[in-house]
Structure 1
Amino acid sequence: MQRTVIHVFLAAVFLGVSACATLQGISTQIDGWEGIGQQPLTEREIAAGLKEALEVGISKGVEQLMKENGYYGNPSIRILLPPEAQEVESVIVRHVPQGQALIDKVVLKMNRAAEEAAKQAKPIFVDAIKQMTIVDARNILFGKADAATQYLRAKTYDRLFEAYYPQIREAMEKVGAQQAWQALAQPYNQLAASPLGSTVGASKTVPEDVSRYVTERALYGLFVKVAEEELKIREQATARITPLLQKVFGELDKR
């Protein structure tokens, strides 16, 4: 009788341990959102979280920039005259017919071109994000406040420029920015090339095609907006709009 009781007890213990092991095995195989916040942060979640964060940041940033005054209404990223023209702006105002009006028109239309081209930016960025590795993601998550944005810039800027430049040129033609710039640049360059040029301080000519310059400034503004959104996700819990973002970036709150 005593031996039977011992056997029953051992069987119960064995079954209990087996059941626990089975349940534990099942819980580690769950691949859904139900376990988020309860399971330890995995390498896969870090990578997915970083990619999701960048997509969220890019979506918000691009949506803001593609609106009217997305660039023009934001002093921190508003596209101004190229440096060559800024140096001689006072000469243009004084000696080019309707110089100030032409400058104002050029500045407005350059920004309108950037706002128009911003509509094409998101798919280019998203495609680049897909190339991020797990190692990259971990380094970025625990890196500087703009680590993800800087990574994206370093890895994709040249490709983005090549893809973005034609969009800027097309947009500049569409909104009349290139025509407005030429209306300003041509008379100024004629003045600079004349004997009178040096006497009025117009010794430098300005480029007649500013599409490359506008592209550079448009991409600068784009990265500024992405960095702003990245910082929000890192520092503000309310900006983490999905369970995955909450779990991944919640790790930063513990540090």
Structure 2
Amino acid sequence: MRRALIGLIASGALAASTTVGAQSLGDRFKQFMGSVDGGNANSSAQQLPESEVVSGLRAALADGASAAVTQLGQNDGFWGDAARRIPLPGWMGKTSGVLRGAGFGDQMDSFQLSMNRAAEQATAEAGPIVRETINSMSVRDAYDILQGSDTAATEYLRDKAGDDLAAKFEPIIANTTAQSQAVSRYESLTSKAKPMLQFVPGMNLDVNDYVTQQALDGLFAVIGQQEQKIRANPAATGSAIVKKVFSTVSR
């Protein structure tokens, strides 16, 4: 039966082988930075120190990142959200009908739940790394971010903190998945099928690496959504410094 299942896995895998008004925040910030350099912005903007502009951006990003970590780093943060739920690994998802027909449906469901629980536990620990990255942001970083796309800050965070977050996530995920019998069965099956699957493009048979990458993708997707909301309405964060900075720059 196991040999037949491995064959099914291998064959299936191989076969499947905001705008914010007329003027954007970036334009507003560029206008403000021009006034710092002696441009023609109004006196109100000229009187606002660079440190306050950076503090305002940091506060806004911290608010958005905190919301994302809180949303995903709780029970059902991934599993209870259809948009963020981590799917079965590609080859397993594409052959799920065959596997379920062979009687492995319950094990697959248990395996998927275990992956999502692991991601939730890991994401709950993301706060300090994200916060440190935000706090290290320079005036130049802030200028580039506000000139960038609606998710420029998210891209900055992923570039600066992605590797550190992955290093933080993986041992937490490994510890969680090690307690799952469903994950143990998955690893046993894939270890036997690996000789037949290793040449399939994009194949990732390491469950902990797979969950780590999926967790990071989910986290930054939600941070990106939060960033877009902040850019659309910065005053809605409820932060006095954010409101002060962006209302001044927008004049």
TM-score by length of 2: 0.72
| 1:11-50 equivalences in 2 (<5 Å) | 40-50=47-57
Instruction: Say whether residues 1:130 and 2:135 are aligned partners.
Output: yes
Instruction: Provide the C-alpha distance between the structure 1 equivalents of 2:80 and 2:152, rounded to a whole number of angstroms.
Output: 27
Shift in Å, 1:89 = 2.2
Q: 2:26 maps to which residue? A: none
Change in 2 beyond 3 A, CA 1:223/1:38: same
2:78 partner SS: coil
**Aligned-residue CA RMSD in angstroms?**
2.7
1:120 partner SS: coil
Q: 2:247 maps to which residue? A: 250
1:148 partner SS: helix
| 1:186-197 equivalences in 2 (<5 Å) | 186-187=188-189
Instruction: Say whether residues 1:161 and 2:166 are aligned partners.
Output: yes
Instruction: Provide the C-alpha distance between the structure 2 equivalents of 1:54 and 1:125, rounded to a whole number of angstroms.
Output: 10
Q: How high is the sequence identity, in percent, across the aligned residues? A: 35
Change in 2 beyond 3 A, CA 1:170/1:152: same
Change in 2 beyond 3 A, CA 1:161/1:187: closer
Shift in Å, 1:223 = 0.7
Gaps of 5+ in 2: 1-43
Supply the AA of the counterpart residue of 1:94: G
Among 223, 226, 229, the alignment partner of 1:229 is: 226
Among 147, 152, 155, the alignment partner of 1:150 is: 155
Structure scoring higher RCO (CA < 8 A, sep ≥ 6) equals 2
Supply the AA of the counterpart residue of 1:146: T
Among 87, 90, 99, the alignment partner of 1:92 is: 99
Change in 2 beyond 3 A, CA 1:245/1:79: same
2:145 partner SS: helix
> Over residues 201-231 of structure 1, what are the superposed CA-to-partner deviations in whole Å (9 max), with x where a residue is unaligned?
xx64786640010000001111111111111
Instruction: Provide the C-alpha distance between the structure 2 equivalents of 1:150 and 1:249, rounded to a whole number of angstroms.
Output: 21
Instruction: Say whether residues 1:115 and 2:117 are aligned partners.
Output: no
Structure with greater Cα Rg? 1
Shift in Å, 1:75 = 1.9
| 1:46-61 equivalences in 2 (<5 Å) | 46-61=53-68
TM-score by length of 1: 0.70
Q: 1:173 maps to which residue? A: 178
Q: 2:24 maps to which residue? A: none
Question: Does the 8 Å CA contact 1:92/1:100 hold for their aligned counterparts?
Answer: yes
Change in 2 beyond 3 A, CA 1:39/1:224: same
Question: Does the 8 Å CA contact 2:204/2:210 hold for their aligned counterparts?
Answer: no
Instruction: Provide the C-alpha distance between the structure 2 equivalents of 1:208 and 1:143, rounded to a whole number of angstroms.
Output: 36
Question: Does the 8 Å CA contact 1:181/1:208 hold for their aligned counterparts?
Answer: no
